Every structure is written in structure tokens, then in C-alpha cells.
Chains A and B, each alone.
Chain A
Amino acid sequence: MSIPEEIDFEVDADDLTPLAEDGKALGSPSLVVDDLYVTYRVFGGKRVGNATGQKPGVLKRFLSGGRTHVGGVTSVEAIKGVSFVARHGESIGVVGINGSGKSTLMRAIAGLIPPTHGAVYVSGDPSLLGVNAVLMGSLTGERNVMIGGLALGLTPDEVRERFDEIVDFSGIGDAIYLPMKAYSSGMGARLRFAISSAAVPDVLMIDEALATGDAAFRKKSKARIDAIRDQAGTVFLVSHSLATIESICSRTLWVHQGKLVMDGPSAEVCAAYKAFVRAQDGASR
């Protein structure tokens, strides 16, 4: 078993107010995931030989030696049969250890990775923002705002209209006129968050983007997420910070090895996940 990564157990977020349970009735379904499978085709991997533990003979090694260098294609099953329904106005946390398939699940929902089996049904255009999603590094932040906005389906005039707001929100100031490759990872993440949330999507997915911001930015982005949720959108939050998830999300999905292990109220799922990670931690020690 893999060693689970460090989890942010501390409730560090002095600025994160606890989730207000206002008892608001949830809307109609905004997202249906039906028995979803995603298989990646990965080139350039090394063929894994027989797992008997015995060293193969000289002749066998000679015969199979070439095959590790020719036709090294591996199929990786990242998601194996996930089903759930999300509703308008819901904010859903996604937890799981590294490599459990969280990001792939988000991308498949956003329509960025086609499913190999099963289906995803969404209302409107879903939007994904993650710290990994790089725009064009060689272009200035300004051009990236335009390209990102247009890619999201805004018109050039709409992007120009919102340009100041996007820059203000990201708080990176004059750095907007520098190429994005000169940005720090935090600045890049802030700008991406500002761009992706400029068009209010029906379904917004945030992939660990909040982790990179400082305290002030986290507060701002929480306000933005709340605003999107109020406009009857659905928000997904992938994070390793259970404190963040518990304070923002009412419901949580726990993904492990490509399967949905648990789906329920955040407090319950987070507690179970915490117990699981502690047990793993103990076992590996």
C-alpha cells in the first residue's frame, strides 16, 4: 500500500466561517454521473514483467528485452464505475489520497476527458479550474485573460468588460502585462481562478486551487464560491485540507483507487476518511 500523504488536520482557517446550514432546499439535478469508467492510454511506460519474483533466464531476457522498448503502451484505469447525482445549489467536496482519481473524475465531469464507458450528464457548460491547468506560459496574463475568457464562451466585448474585475480579483496588479511563465505558482493559480470564475458556470469544479492562495485570497475565493452557489450553481472542491472542505461543502465524496467509497454529509465522510488515513499511517510505521 502507498503511504498516504500528509493531511492538513489543523483548522488553520481563522477566516473560514463554519458552513451556515440555512436549510435551503436543493434544486433540480445539475449533474448525473452514470457508471463512469475512464481509461488512459499512456505511452512510454515500461512493461512490467512476470511477478513471480524469479529472475528470468538469459534466453528469456534476450527475447523479451526488446519488447520493453517497443510498443510500451499502458492502459491505466483511473476511474472504475462511479455513479452519483448532484443538484443545483449543492457544494460537494472530493477527498482521497494522491492518485485515487479525484482530478480525473473532475476532468471527466467537465467533458475534458472522454469516458471509456458510462456517461456524464450536465446542465450548461461546466468549468474546471485547477492548479495544474496551465494557460499559455509564453503569453502575457492579459492575453491569457482574453484567451481563457473566449475559450469559456464569452464574447470579446464581455471579456474586455470584465477585464478590470478579473485583474482586481486576482490581485496581481501590473504583473498582468508580464508573460505567465514569470509568475509564481500562487499568482498563476489566482489568475486562473479569477478567469474561470469570471463566467458563472452551472457547475464549477475547483481542483486544489484554494491551497495555493494566501489567507486573504482564500477569503475572497470563498466569497466567490458562495456567490456561485447562490446563483443555483453546483460547486465541486477537490482539496487535501479537510478543514476547508468541512467549512465550504455540505456533502463529500471519498474516492479511492478509482471507486466511490463513501458519499454523504461532509462531517461523516471526513471523519471516516481521517480514520482511514490514521490507520494507514499506523500500518506503515
Chain B
Amino acid sequence: MRAIAQASGLRQMGVRPPLTEYVRALWARRAFIRTLGSAKAYARNQGSYLGQLWSVLNPLLNSLVYVFIFGILIKTTRGTENGIAFIVTGVFIYRFFDSSVTSGANSLKNNMSLVRSVHFPRAALPISTTITELATLGPALVVMCVVSWLSGLLPKQGDVPITWRLLLLPVAVGLMWVFNTGCAFFVARWVAITPDLGNVIPFVLRFVFYASGVLFSVDHYIKNEALAGVLTYQPVAVFLNMARSTVLNEPTIPLDPVMWIVGAGWALVAVVFGFLVFWRGEERYGRD
């Protein structure tokens, strides 16, 4: 049988292709990945009268909650000049990570009908889900910057001027997207092989949330040097720091080249190892 197949130049199906071939096939489907990712982001806001207006309204309402609670109800500075802007940027940027990991974990399960009907490199699915999250983040970033600037006009809150540093925000978000995609590769494979891990991910994410200084400045509260070092240079905290240093005007968060190099390093490590881990499971996706 094998001899017949080889004599007529047939290709074996359902086996993991070599890495270079896999990458090439994935690159050839880049239009598919982009279209699928953006179409899903678009579909999220359909099914209501206001439709795509919700892509702006949603983050706006979200940030108003934080302005109300942390700007009006609880007047704490938490070691920052402008607590509202600090929290709004933190929450929006952290959410990007959180939702990328969550939807990346379910990317194979949620697209099973597509997996069972068309053949393509399965790595396209985790990538397209993080593109969906990136497309959702786009309008939210604009809201984030506007709310941060407006919060500077409130009494007792530090100014948030618009500076050239804002131009670096897309770079920070882009690096974070690469990092998120890498994480999505890891969890996508783990959850596909062992679905139980899908139940553990929310707890891990909750832990990361508090360990990354989303709502408070970590070095303001943690005095142990070794621990503070770990918490400062862990990837999510690094990306939060990068994004905040472009938007905010905090003396404690200067634009630090070291952070940007560390961030780029984390992104590269995550995406390379994540991709390899995902690729090694390729022949198993879709059998459950």
C-alpha cells in the first residue's frame, strides 16, 4: 500500500508536517487568519441595535465604573499621582492578556466545526483568536487614552499630558500581542489534550492579576527586594509598565529602555516556544 502511494506521489494525511513546511502553510493562510480574527471581533458586537457602537461604548462604560469607584468613592493615591489613569490603563491592558489566554485556550474547542470541515494548519486558530482580542482592544485603547487625559482635569489627580511617548503605545501593544499569542499556543495545546486544565486557567489568571500590579503599584507595597524584582520583571508586569510609561505621567514609571528590551525578550521566548509546543501536538487536534 505504502509503495503504491509513494509511486504515485501521494501525500500522507493526518500526520504532523515538518516545521518548515508547517510555517510555510501557515504563512500561506495569513489572509484566512486575519479575516477570521477580524470577522469574529465584528460578530461580537452584532445582535444589538447599536451594533458596532458597542466596541466603543463597552470600554467607555467599563472605565466610568473605575472612575466612579476609585476617583470618587475611594480616594486613595496608592503611591501614584493619578490613581484613575493608573487603574484604567492597568485594567485595559491586563484584560488584553486575560482574554487572549482565555479564548486561546478554547480556540480549538470553539472552532471544532471548522476543524472538522476544512484542512489547514491548526496554529491558525490560536493566532486568529488573539487577533480578535487585538481588534477588540483597538477602540478600547482610544477610550483608555481619552479617559486618562480627562482624569487629569479632575481635582487632586495629577495631570496626564499628551506627549510624543504616546506614539510608543502601539509598539508596546504589538509586543504584548506577540507574547499573548505565544501564551495562547501553550494553553491551546494543553486544554485540547487535557480539557480539565481549562478549569484551572481562571485561577492562574486571577493570581497573575494580583501579582502584576493592575490596581496598585507593586513596589509601593512589597519591600522584599528579591520578591519585588521577580514581580517587576515578570512578563505581564513588564508589558503593563511599558504601556503605562507611554500614557501616564508618573515619576515612578519612567520610560525605561531596559523594560522594553525585557518585554521584547519575553515576547520572543513565548511565541517561539509556544509555537513549537503547539506544532508538536498538531496530529492530535480534532480527534476528540
Q: A residues touching B (Cβ–Cβ < 8 Å)?
A: 28-32, 34-35, 38-43, 83, 85, 107-116, 119-130, 132-136, 138-139, 143, 146-148, 150-153, 155-156, 179
Contact = CB atoms under 8 A, between A and B. Distances in A.
A32 B5 contact: yes
Nearest to A43: B195
A273 B62 CA distance: 63
Given A34-B5, A110-B119, A150-B31, A121 B13 contact: yes
Nearest to B119: A111
B287 A121 contact: no
Nearest to A119: B12
Contacts of A130: 117
B43 A112 contact: no
- Among B6, B14, B43, B284, max chain A CB count under 10 A is at B14
Contact of B116 (A35, A107, A115, A153): A107
B10 A32 contact: yes
Nearest to B6: A121
Interchain residue pairs A-B with the least CB separation, the first 7: A133-B117, A121-B5, A111-B13, A121-B10, A150-B32, A34-B1, A114-B14
A147 B32 contact: yes
Given A121-B5, A122-B10, A150-B31, A134 B113 contact: yes
Contacts of A111: 13-14, 119
A113 B4 CA distance: 23
A114 B12 CA distance: 11
B45 to A, nearest CB: 11
Nearest to B13: A111
A143 B10 CA distance: 33
Given A139-B43, A153-B29, 20 more contacts: A32-B4, A34-B1, A85-B4, A107-B116, A112-B116, A112-B286, A114-B284, A114-B287, A120-B12, A121-B6, A123-B9, A124-B11, A126-B13, A130-B117, A133-B113, A150-B32, A150-B35, A151-B29, A151-B32, A151-B120
Interface string B111-124: 00111111110000
Contacts of A129: 117
A123 B8 contact: yes
Interface residues of B, number: 40
Contacts of B2: 32, 34, 119, 121
B80 to A, nearest CB: 41
B119 A126 contact: yes
A179 B46 contact: yes
B39 A139 contact: yes
23 contacts: A29-B8, A31-B10, A40-B287, A40-B288, A42-B288, A109-B13, A119-B13, A119-B14, A121-B10, A121-B12, A123-B9, A123-B10, A126-B13, A133-B117, A136-B39, A138-B47, A139-B40, A139-B43, A143-B39, A150-B35, A151-B120, A153-B29, A156-B35
A41 B288 CA distance: 5
A83 B1 contact: yes
A115 B14 contact: yes
Interface in B21-45: 28-29, 31-32, 35-36, 39-40, 42-43
A130 B113 CA distance: 11
Contacts of B8: 28-30, 32, 123
A130 B195 CA distance: 27
Given A114-B283, A120-B13, A123-B10, A29 B4 contact: yes
B118 A151 contact: yes
A108 B42 CA distance: 33
Contacts of B10: 29-32, 121-123
B15 interface: yes
Contacts of A124: 11
B5 A114 contact: no
Nearest to A146: B35
B224 to A, nearest CB: 41
Interface in B227-250: none
A131 B5 CA distance: 30
Contacts of A107: 116
A127 B287 CA distance: 18
Nearest to B113: A134
A18 B43 CA distance: 45
A107 B288 CA distance: 13
Nearest to A115: B14
Contacts of B12: 119-121
A123 B119 contact: no
A35 B89 CA distance: 57
B39 A108 contact: no
A261 B225 CA distance: 72
B286 A114 contact: yes
A29 B287 contact: no
